[in-house]
Structure 1
Amino acid sequence: MKNRTRFVKAISAVLAAIALLFIPLPQRVGLDTRIVTVASIQRPPTVVFDYVTTPAHWPAWHPSSLAVSGSVDHSLDLGEQMTEEFRVAGRRGRVVWTVAAREPPGKWAIDGKIDGRPAGTVTYSLTPTANGTRFEREFTYRAPSLWFAILNWFVLRARIQSESDTAVSQLKSLLEASPQH
C-alpha cells in the first residue's frame, strides 16, 4: 500500500510538472525571440521596398512562404491584410498578416495572427547605401508557453534563423539578377 501511494504521488508530480509546461505564459514574461538578417542589395531602396512589401513575391524568395492570398498584388498599405500559407521550422500553418507600419522606402512592419492569436511581427528596415540598400529583416515572436520556450531555445530558433538567412540571401540574388524588379 505504501509503495502504491508513493507511486501515485510520483505520477501526480510528473503530470503536474508536464501541465505547467503548457500553461500560457503572462505577457509580461520577456520570452520574445528576435531573428535578424541583414543584406546589402545592389538595388535602390524604392525598388527593394516595393518588391518585398508585395506579398505575391514572397514565395519566390522566402522558403517558408508556400502561398499567399487576399490583397497580394501590390505593395500593402497601412491596415491592409493578407493570408499566407507557411512552413516554418517544419510546422505548416496559415497566418493573417496586417500592415502595422509603412514609411516608404525605409520601414514596413506586419503583425501576424494564427487562429486569432498573436503570431509575431516582421519588420523590414531599408537604408540607402552608396551601392544600393542595406536591407534588414527582423522577425519577433513570443513564447506562448514554457514548453514552447524550451523547444524554441533548443530547436526552433536556429531553424528559423537559418530559414530567414536563406530567404534574405535569395532575395538579394533575385533582385540583383533581375533588372525589371
Structure 2
Amino acid sequence: MTHAPIFPDKASTQYAAPLRTHQEQHRSQLREQTAEELPAMTTPKTPTYPFERSHSIVIAAAPEAVFDYVTNPKTWPQWLPSSHDIDCEDRPMRFGDTFHEHWSTRSGPVALDWLVIACERPRLWIGLTHMSVTGPIVVQYVCDVADGGTKFTRTVRNPARPKTPTAEMIARIDEEAELGLGNIKRIVESRA
C-alpha cells in the first residue's frame, strides 16, 4: 500500500464542471426555501481547510473486476469498517445514481446521501456526499492496469472542512484505509 500526496489531475479537473453544476442546482433549490427551512449545509462564513488523503494497492485481478466490486456500495460494509448499511440496488452505481449509507463515527451514527458525479468504467468513479462535521465529502476510485493486475487508488477529499484534522484523525483514516484496501484485495482476488 502507498500513501501518496494528491495533486490536481486530469480526472479532478475534468469533473469540476459537473460538480459545480450540481452545486449550483443545489444552491438554487436552497434559495427557493425560506430561511427557516434552510438545512445545516449552508455555506460557512468561517475559513475552511481542504483535506485530501489517498491510498493505493495492487490487486491481482482485472480492472473491471476491481471497479465493479468497489463501485457497488452494497459491498462497502464488507471492506470498510465504518460503513454499516447501504440503501440501493445491489449493483455498481453509475453516473447520476444516488444511494444512502449508514455510517459510523467516533461521535455516533451518520446518514449519508450520495450522488455519483463521475463514472468511466473501468477506470474512474467519483461520489459526492455531505456531512455536517466535515462539509462535502468526495470519494474517488481509480483503477489502473499495473504489473500483477490493477492498481486501485482510493482518494477521499474534504474540500471545505471547518477545521484541520488532527494527527490522530489522520492516523485513524490511514489505518481504516489500509484495512479496507487489504479487505478489497483479499475479497476480489478470492473471486478471480
Which ranges of 4 or more aligned residues in structure 1 deviate by more than 3 Å? 88-91
The answer to whether the Cα contact below 8 Å between 2:135 and 2:160 also exists between their aligned partners in 1 is no
Residue number in structure 2 paired with 1:121: 138
CA distance in structure 2 between the partners assigned to 1:95 and 1:59 by the alignment: 14
Between the aligned residues of both structures, percent identity stands at: 26
- 2:174 is the counterpart of 1:168: no
**1:157 to partner: Cα distance:** 2.0
The CA distance in 2 between the partners of 1:47 and 1:130, in whole Å, is 16
Structure 2 counterpart of 1:66: 84
Aligned to 2:9: none
Equivalent of residue 55 in structure 2, options 37, 44, 47 = 37
| Separation in 1, partners of 2:125, 2:161 | 25
Taking structure 1 as reference, are residues 74 and 159 closer, same or farther at Cα in structure 2, changes over 3 Å only? Answer: same
Stretches of structure 1 lacking an aligned partner (at least 5 in a row): 1-22
Contact 2:51/2:161 (CA < 8 Å) preserved in 1? no
CA distance in 2, matches of 1:57, 1:82: 13
Cα separation, 2, equivalents of 1:24 and 1:168:
36
Q: TM-score, normalised by structure 1?
A: 0.74
**Number of aligned positions between the proteins:** 148
List alignment gaps of at least 5 residues for structure 2.
1-43
Q: Is the 8 A contact 1:38 1:134 kept in 2?
A: yes
- Of residues 57, 78, 81, the one that matches 2:75 is 57
Q: Which amino acid aligns with 1:155?
A: E
Superposed CA RMSD: 2.0
1:87 and 1:99, CA in 2 relative to 1: closer, same or farther beyond 3 A?
A: same
TM-superposed CA distance for 1:143, in Å, is 5.0
Structure 2 counterpart of 1:9: none
Q: Which has the larger radius of gyration?
A: 1
CA distance in 2, matches of 1:32, 1:166: 24
Deviations 1:50-99 (A, max 9, x none): 11111111111111111100x23111111110011112456431111100
